[in-house]
Amino acid sequence: MARLFSRLSRRHSSRNNNDTRPGLEAFVRTKAESGFDYVVLGHLHRPRLFEIDGTSCLVIGDWIDYFTYGLFLNGRLTLEKWPPGC
């Protein structure tokens, strides 16, 4: 059912461009200026891990297509894929 709704929703969204959504970098920059070390975002579909002004930003992606999640361990934020090693 989730895959069906996902396919239907693509007709009405700019899903393929979600990782470059206008304002994403500006949002992370404002958080960096406020002293945040990490920003974690959901809802955007394409997974991405990047850094702006010393602030790490993780877009966790979606579970239907990418099977990605974030891991914070020993002060390090990483983008992981399930099953591990894929």
- As averages over each run of 10 residues, the pLDDT of the chain (86 residues) reads 64 50 90 97 91 96 90 96 81
Structure tokens at 83: 């099953």
Q: How much is the pLDDT for 60? A: 94
Q: How much is the pLDDT for 74? A: 96
Percent composition of the chain: helix, strand, coil (DSSP 3-state, to 5): 30, 30, 40
End-to-end Cα, the chain, rounded Å: 25
Q: How much is the pLDDT for 4? A: 65
pTM value? 0.73
